[in-house]
A and B are shown apart, each in its own frame.
Chain A
Amino acid sequence: MLQVEKVSKSYRSTSVLTEVTFQMEQGESLGLIGESGSGKSTMAKLIVGLEHLDGGQITLNGLDFQQLRGAELRKARRHVQVVFQDPWASLNPKLPVWKSIIEPLENYPDVVPSFLKGVRNDKRKMAEILLEKVGLDRDFLERYPHQLSGGQRQRVGIARGIGLQPNLLICDEPTSSLDVSIQAQILNLLKELKKEFNMSYLFISHDMASVQYMCDRIAVFKQGVLVDLFLSKDLFSDTRHPYTKMLVQATVER
């Protein structure tokens, strides 16, 4: 589904990504892990097409976003949605929750996700169904972002992300701004939704334990280089890259 081929990117003279190559299948979740500045988020931006590549190629369902323009790019983009780290920043404070949720659906009036068949013209109903998918009841429809807790806000962000039934959902540190007690709720929710919709996840995080819980495979970035790529179950294998071992060592309980 997603092909990343020898992708390089630099800002001015600083190289952020160097010849990164990986593939993803439909329904697979891949974790991107690394420290700040290792290029994880840049990778996400390139996949969504928010930044231009300096070298290499990224194709989603066979389409190269860098080559597409205008209507075609718009059409292709709906297959990738993003859940951001900070749910505060991703919701419009002036819109009630239901309007925020269906905004992507309004941008693509032709798209009819399977779970919204029959109600595609009823905006509130669609918002209600999506809210239910993320475990919030209809009382939340009319609320504004400031009336929600961090966890609830992130749920709304997720509802917005899955509305168009994307092939790929990019989760950029979805739980790092949340309290410990809420992290588990959100991770469980994401895992259930993935199963239900057979979505692929690109799960960006600096927490090895969350990545291991969420992902089938893990890609380790260090200073813009993909140093290690492996199945989650091989995390403790001796053949791991020394840097991966260091990250594991730092996270594992003594």
Chain B
Amino acid sequence: MTISVDFTQPLTNDYVKEETFFQSLPLLEIKNLSISSLGENKKEDIKLVKNINFTIKSGEMLGIVGESGSGKSLTACALVGLLPKSLKVTEGQIKLHGRELLNLSEKEMRRLRGNEIAYIFQNYQGSFTPFIKIGNQLIEALRSHRKISKLDAKKKVLIWLERVKLPANQVFTSYPYQLSGGQLQRAALAAALMFQPFLIVADEPTTALDVLTSENILDLLVELQKEYNCAVLLISHNLNHVLKRTDSIAVMYGGQIVERGLTNEIRKNPIHPYTKLLLQARPVLSRVVPEKLVVIPGEPGLVAEQGCAFALRCPKSFKKCSILPKMQSVGDSQWVACHAADLEADYTNASS
């Protein structure tokens, strides 16, 4: 059976989103969020994410950077209610459109996931069941969230496969193994976007992909995000990707946000020593190649239990760093948690 689809027709929203009402509020607001692992007796054991705060507006792309184990993915998992059983949100609020997500039942959360918040995983093979054709999987996903006939669902799926620049008809009838990594990730993007969610959480979406493929996928994500004015939380350990595309950045170390603000500000004027070192330590294409790269001393995962998490690796640390620094604002659109913030800000230390 073939269906002719008119790709030129504009897509209409399935249901009216009350954009105007919400515009004054941030779309997503995370306040004082802490996540702990539960030890024996279900008692709080180790604090993995500590008192983090950030907001995302509609149409904004926020990047979270930090090394493995810094709590980026945990934060994202908490956001969609997918934390493993051994972990628990112990404090704080997660509000979407002013509605507290942490109090929602599993059933309400399931309705919200996919529909209002979509998730794109690093592991694109895991996004699809290996023995069902892509098209049928997408139709099933669509029909589990919306009342829509099979025929309409098929039309919609084909339109979205086209939107993510895939050969729609061919991909529709393909099994996942018949597609390349980039194609699968595009299909996953289609699956996320066809619900026109308010927020897309993209957790290392291109880490497993090639350089050029990654660039194309991220460009596509930005393009569609702008078009549908949805918010994106981009989690990546690739600073280049994040610097290139996001509007704002949060830098995490040891479960804390150490610096956040507008991407351009942070690129030009990083203040926290960890942010500075992260920016300097990566090899950057340039006409003049440095003899030696700047390194961050110590090993990842070396987190101070008291005070500033980065203190043990920080070349600038001093006595006061054993007390946890408060988040303070620097300028209009940058916040940093560092006792030496005033000093550090004086060096206008642009990356590369």
Contact = CB atoms under 8 A, between A and B. Distances in A.
Contacts of B293: 184, 187-188, 213
Given A183-B283, A212-B283, A235-B285, 12 more contacts: A180-B238, A180-B239, A181-B67, A184-B294, A184-B296, A188-B293, A188-B295, A207-B211, A209-B282, A212-B289, A252-B285, A253-B243
A46 B236 CA distance: 35
Interface in A218-252: 232, 235-236, 246-248, 250-252
Nearest to B300: A179
A232 to B, nearest CB: 7
A180 B278 contact: yes
B287 A179 contact: no
A254 B284 CA distance: 12
Interface string B273-312: 0000110011111010110111110011100000000000
Contacts of A236: 287
29 contacts: A35-B211, A36-B210, A151-B299, A180-B281, A181-B277, A181-B278, A181-B281, A182-B296, A183-B282, A184-B282, A184-B283, A184-B295, A185-B296, A187-B283, A207-B283, A209-B282, A209-B284, A210-B283, A212-B283, A212-B285, A213-B289, A213-B290, A213-B293, A246-B212, A250-B211, A250-B215, A251-B240, A253-B243, A253-B244
Interface of A: 35-36, 149-152, 179-185, 187-188, 191, 206-210, 212-213, 232, 235-236, 246-248, 250-254
Most buried by A among B67, B240, B285: B285
Contacts of A180: 67, 237-239, 278, 281-282
A182 B299 contact: yes
Interface in B211-267: 211-213, 215, 237-240, 243-244
A213 B284 CA distance: 8
Nearest to B212: A250
Contact of A206 (B211, B300, B352): B211
**Which bracket fits the contact residues of B?**
20 to 34
Contacts of A208: 211, 285
B112 to A, nearest CB: 33
A32 to B, nearest CB: 14
B173 interface: no
B68 interface: yes
Nearest 6 interchain pairs by C-beta? A209-B283, A184-B293, A184-B281, A181-B296, A35-B210, A179-B67
A84 B82 CA distance: 35
A36 B214 CA distance: 12
Contacts of A183: 281-283
Nearest to B245: A254
A253 B293 CA distance: 18
Contacts of B211: 35, 206-208, 247, 250-251
A247 B244 contact: no
Contacts of A185: 295-296
A11 B352 CA distance: 43
A179 B212 CA distance: 21
A149 B282 CA distance: 19
